[in-house]
Amino acid sequence: MDEKKEDKSEESKQNHITYYKSLSKIIANMNEEINEEGEPAIKEHLKSRIDAMEKDRKRIRDLFPDMKKEEWDDNAN
């Protein structure tokens, strides 16, 4: 199986930072929705979507290991 070589250029890094920020905002909104939601099935669905987004955020951080997690979180605001 061929492995896809990830683009680690500065342009790619900036695009990933933008995407990371959008994921962070979506996750925050979903967490608010979970707090307001009464239906357990909907809460579980939202939590599973958040888990998937968190995995994607980790993948992005791993792609650019020169940036500390705190830097990503600072960029997310």
Q: Is the pLDDT of residue 77 over 80?
A: no
Residue-level pLDDT at 3: 63
Instruction: Give pLDDT tens digits for 42-62.
Output: 999 999 999 999 999 999 999
Residue-level pLDDT at 59: 92
The pTM of the full predicted model, rounded to 2 decimals, is: 0.78
Packed helices 10-36 and 40-63: angle between N→C axes, nearest 10 degrees = 160
Residue-level pLDDT at 76: 47
Instruction: Give pLDDT tens digits for 18-38.
Output: 999 999 999 999 999 999 988
> Where do the domains of the chain lie?
39-77
> Is 20 in contact with 57 (CB distance < 8 Å)?
yes
